[in-house]
Structure 1
Amino acid sequence: MANNEEVKNGVIFPVGEKNEAFAQYFIGQSYLQSLVADKDVNVGVANVTFEPACRNNWHIHHDGFQILLVTGGEGWYQEEGKQAQSLKAGDVIVTHDGVKHWHGAKQDSWFEHIAITAGTPEWLEPVEDDWYLQL
């Protein structure tokens, strides 16, 4: 598998705990480590780690945005109506307010990104296996 040891061992930021709070919005296992816990800062910053083939559901950020800074492994990002984009360490994704999208690991790789998020998420349908396995 590609880039596994570096990502699952948390070389840059800690991997964190199993992402139980949002598990219902993911297919597969993810891990979450909050990096900024300041109630006066209205932006969430977290390290999100995905085991191989793990991905989140389609979702929308309302009254906000999401910036993904890819720090390890290989993954996918897709906005509704567009082709899925292959991601690797160093890639940056900006998702604007109201844009339906999903992101997650490739089938054979762990994947990790820093998520900088503002607004309220609306969680939608899962990214189905039949479609995902064709990527």
Structure 2
Amino acid sequence: MKRTILTLAALLAAPAAFAQSMEISRHADRPGQVGSAEVFTGTSYVAPVFPPEMGDVSAGEVTFLPGARSAWHTHPAGQMLVVTSGTGWVQERGQEKQIMSAGDVVWCPPDVEHWHGATDATSVTHYAIQQAVDGSAVVWGEHVTDEEYDG
């Protein structure tokens, strides 16, 4: 009986010995950068959300000021946009641009060419979440022209 109690106590204590603690990544502690003019038009700010330890999944908190947008691009495993504030536009190549607003979630399937960004009068912030395939999470194309953006 005594041995059973000791064994049970050891089994119950074992997970605690291997447990890890939660970790909070504070917004102010995740440094971002102004979006590169190579892949963005206008002013955008990109801050990482997930650490590299997440493996093939990456996410960025992206803020576009009015008039700012990404270049045309695709994602080999698709992309999820979770709009957290503001109002913006998203467009699939060959389709009409659509409004995206705070609370909206946009799914762009693998290899579908698209762009996203702010409207001409409002800013927008979203989390962009994507998975890498063979080491690549995005394939960038040409910039969205003013005619395409205004269309």
TM-score, structure 2 normalization? 0.73
- 1:130 match: secondary structure: helix
More strand by share: 1
Match among 100, 108, 114 for residue 113 of structure 2: 100
- Distance, in Å, in 1 between the alignment partners of 2:31 and 2:95 is 31
Contact residue 16 and residue 31 of structure 1 kept, 8 A? no
Q: Aligned-pair RMSD on alpha carbons?
A: 1.8
Q: Which residue of 2 aligns with 1:61?
A: 75
Q: Deviations over 1:3-42 (max 9, x none)?
A: xxxxxxxxxx56953334x331000011011111032432
Q: Which runs of 5+ in 1 are unaligned?
A: 1-12
- Distance, in Å, in 2 between the alignment partners of 1:86 and 1:53 is 14
Change (3 A) 1:109 1:16: farther
Contact residue 34 and residue 45 of structure 2 kept, 8 A? yes
Please list, as runs of the form range in 1=range in 2, the aligned pairs for 1:35-46 lying within 5 A after superposition. 35-46=49-60
Q: Which residue of 2 aligns with 1:18?
A: 33
Letter paired with 1:127? V
Q: Which residue of 2 aligns with 1:27?
A: 41
Q: Which residue of 1 aligns with 2:139?
A: 122
Identity of aligned residues (%): 36
Larger radius of gyration: 2
- Distance, in Å, in 2 between the alignment partners of 1:49 and 1:76 is 13
Contact residue 51 and residue 105 of structure 1 kept, 8 A? yes
- Report 1 or 2 for greater relative contact order, CA contacts < 8 Å, sequence distance ≥ 6: 1
- 1:132 match: secondary structure: helix
Match among 51, 54, 78 for residue 65 of structure 2: 51
- 1:39 match: secondary structure: helix
Change (3 A) 1:40 1:91: closer
Q: Which runs of 5+ in 2 are unaligned?
A: 1-26
Letter paired with 2:49? L
Runs of at least 4 residues off by over 4 Å? 13-16
- 1:23 match: secondary structure: coil
Letter paired with 1:122? V
More helix by share: 2
Letter paired with 1:76? W
